[in-house]
């Protein structure tokens, strides 16, 4: 996973170009995790598409939007954001209902989350953005590209099969996909995982290298019942 992210940094640098980009808008939020990125990064929330979306922004240059996977939030990209910020305007977003992005009820489909992102891009007056999505964020990135090609410069989608694209049907029966079916049973995952987020997430974190502080951050990002519900609804 992390090797892919570092490769992403290199690829984006090679394809850098000039672009118009807007200033930060929305309410500033204090965030200890953002302070780890160093100077020049800002944490804010925006009211878009009927919800509050949290984003972290830094750097200057062509805009790059980073969309996290499960079970993570914007902090998934914290190791590469300072590197990308040397050449790009970097914006890492919390998907609706996760971390500091709020959502109660509503539509958690990829198309509607792509609309969230488009409204963020519009509010920040960004033009021709790079969109990078990992896991569930990759599905949102794909929906964004399909729905808003005029707003997209390039896209990178990491580690996720896409509905309607070759390989989707074949992967559905793979044992590694057990958790998808589990989380799609209405109400069941909430009952079994609430209060046991750390135990459940440990299964997924075993596939990578995560520090105890990183794991604690992600458990907190899904700490409330409504946050878990949002993720399972996706």
CATH of the domain at 160: 3.40.50.1820
Query: Is residue 143 pLDDT above 70, yes or no?
Result: yes
Average pLDDT over residues 152-160: 96
pLDDT for 104 equals 77
Q: Has residue 213 been placed in a domain?
A: no
Predicted pLDDT of residue 23: 61
Q: Please report the pLDDT score of residue 142 as a whole number.
A: 97
Lowest mean pLDDT among 33-42, 118-127, 145-154: 33-42
- Whether 206 maps to a domain, the answer reads no
Percent of the chain exceeding pLDDT 90 equals: 72
Q: How many domains, in total, are found in the chain?
A: 1
Section 198-208 average pLDDT: 92
> Is 152 within the bounds of a domain?
yes
**Residue 37 lies inside a defined structural domain of this protein:** yes
Closest residue by Cα to residue 37 from 65, 68, 59, 53:
59
Q: Is residue 57 part of a domain?
A: yes
Q: Say whether pLDDT at 35 is over 70.
A: yes
Residue 160 lies in a domain: yes
* C-alpha distance from residue 29 to each of 19, 68, 74, 182 (Å): 27, 19, 14, 34
Dist CA 57 CA 89 (whole Å): 7
Amino acid 164: pLDDT: 85
Radius of gyration of the chain (CA): 17
H helices of the chain, where? 2-14, 32-35, 81-84, 110-123, 136-147, 168-172, 178-184, 188-193, 197-205, 212-221, 225-233
Could you give the CA distance from residue 146 to residue 188 in angstroms, rounded to a whole number? 32
Instruction: With cut-offs at 50, 70 and 90, classify the pLDDT of residue 22.
Output: low
Is the pLDDT assigned to residue 219 strictly greater than 90?
yes
Tell me the mean pLDDT in the region 98-126.
94
pLDDT exceeds 70 at position 3? no
Dump pLDDT digits (tens) for 65-106: 999 999 999 999 999 999 999 999 999 999 999 999 998 778
Which has more confidence, 25 or 37? 37
Q: What is the pLDDT of residue 19?
A: 42
Instruction: State the residue range of the domain holding 48.
Output: 2-165
């Amino acid at each position: 996973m992390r090797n892919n992210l570092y490769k992403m940094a290199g690829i984006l640098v090679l394809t850098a170009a000039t672009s118009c980009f807007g200033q930060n808008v929305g309410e500033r939020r204090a965030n200890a995790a953002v302070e780890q990125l160093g100077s020049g990064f800002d944490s804010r929330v925006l009211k878009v598409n009927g919800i509050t979306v949290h984003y972290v922004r830094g750097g200057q240059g062509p805009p790059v939007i980073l969309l996290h996977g499960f079970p993570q939030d914007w902090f998934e990209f914290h190791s590469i954001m300072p590197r990308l910020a040397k050449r790009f305007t970097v914006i890492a977003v919390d998907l609706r209902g996760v971390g500091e992005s709020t959502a109660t009820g509503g539509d958690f489909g990829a198309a509607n989350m792509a609309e969230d992102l488009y409204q963020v891009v519009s509010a920040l007056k960004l033009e021709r953005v790079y969109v990078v999505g990992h896991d569930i964020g990759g599905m949102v990135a794909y929906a964004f590209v399909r729905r808003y090609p005029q707003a997209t410069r390039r896209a990178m989608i990491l580690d996720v099969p896409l509905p309607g694209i070759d390989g989707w049907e074949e992967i559905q029966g793979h044992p590694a996909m057990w958790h998808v079916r589990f989380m799609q049973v209405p109400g069941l995952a909430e009952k079994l995982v609430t209060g046991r987020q750390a135990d459940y997430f440990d299964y997924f974190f075993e596939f990578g290298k995560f520090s105890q502080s990183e794991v604690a951050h992600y458990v907190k990002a899904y700490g409330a019942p409504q946050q878990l519900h949002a993720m399972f609804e996706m």
